[in-house]
Structure 1
Amino acid sequence: MLLAIDAGNTNVVFALFEGRTLRGRWRIATDPRRTGDEYAVWLMQLLSIRGVAADEIKSIIISTVVPRALHNLEILCRHYFDVEPLVAGAGKAEYAIDIDVDQPKSLGADRAVNAIAAHERHGGDLIVVDFGTATTFDVVDYHGAYKGGIIAPGINLSLDALVGNTAKLPRIAIAVPPSKSVIGRNTEDQMLIGVFWGYVAMMEGLIARMRAEIGRPAKVIATGGLAVLFDEASDIFDAVDPDLTLEGLAILAERASKT
């Protein structure tokens, strides 16, 4: 079995694969200070609940956009699974795609892995939208080359900024507004309209501009925790693939095993 670890700015996601089949996933809040031992206490219990023994995991791959978290995750792999982990973008797990931007090494591992998975699963010209701590819009051409993209504040960051910098506005939950009206009748409704429909308008506007600049038909693939929520409110997505990053890690690990 393969253990894929995706360390993002908000959560670290652990996913168990048998071949390309996802057997389970678990997440824990990202904390660069969390030790390998702490990860092990938490993860081993979850694997046990699934009836999976540590020695059944034969390979591990890590993708991280939090460099300080990598060392402790590597300790987890070596000490508790007796596995030397692959690191996405390095060694046998090199991306092996053309990263056609000004500073290729600055591309986040999650975005490169998304590009690999999206190209293999969907093909053609693509715009990959990943709803995470930040929302990223990435262009992948029909050859599988990464061509660039956009980084925008995630919707929860936008809400945090709104609430944290005002004296009286309350904390609200992100949800599809109950009405399509954009004229709110109370404070909470007005906030939800501004945050949610404002975000949808931003997303649709940026995608329209990207499609025009690409100049060829481009499919839009959404991933990340809030992808399903926004799919309810817009018809801009051609596909929603919530596990795209994890699938990309499984692809990289499979390729590495053949080298």
Structure 2
Amino acid sequence: MAIERDAKINRLFLDWSVGAVYLNSYLKKRGISDQLLSQYKKSKWVKSIGTGAVARYNDDVSLISGVSTLQIQAEMPIHFGDKTALSLLGRSHYLELGVQKAILFGQKNKKLPAWFRNYSWETEWEYHTTDFLPHDTGLTEIKVDNFTIKISSAARAIMECLYLATDKQDLVECYQIMESLNNLRPDSVQELLEQCSSVKVKRLFMYMADKAGHSWVKYLNLNKIDLGSGKRSIVKNGAYVKKYMITVPRELEENNESDI
């Protein structure tokens, strides 16, 4: 019995990446019973990081590894988005993962498991659930440390920034980011804009892309993008943009006439 137990832990550890989190349910599928896992904990081979999740005893686990576990083992529709994704893609100097709060997006009404919510991750994070974009559209895979994770592409990430924007400072920062996105793929942008359900996001995205003068804008088919109808006041006491019927921070539109 001891030989079989040791053989299983040896096989498991051969595949266990440093810092990886494993779900009890996932290990059970690989032949590690709850009883055997309990013995591994007593022997200090593994440690619990919350109900239903474990790591190797001496390993430090990161938010990246936790999200990887949710994506791969739990098959949850969750990903790094917004400025966090842009930072991970190397496209934004506004936020560095590990210094600022990481932004996670999930499908509407999808709750995170208790072990993830309650663990003291090294990085602060916040979680947003929404269906303003399909959960599987506009994602890309990258490798961070030992883990392959899905994050928002640059096009989806700036749309998420616009979705979460609440005041003029946020929108000015969004525009500063948009200015750097001069090589987005028009087909990817087109797909996202067609599937986006937020009129606010679509109008702001097109306004900022136009204002930044990006060459990829001319390849978009606006006839297939529903920009809604009527005026939208994005901020109070802002400047009105006739083309997209939105009120934006005056800092972005100082030279335009306002006819609000």
TM-score (normalised: structure 2): 0.24
TM-score (normalised: structure 1): 0.24
More strand by share: 1
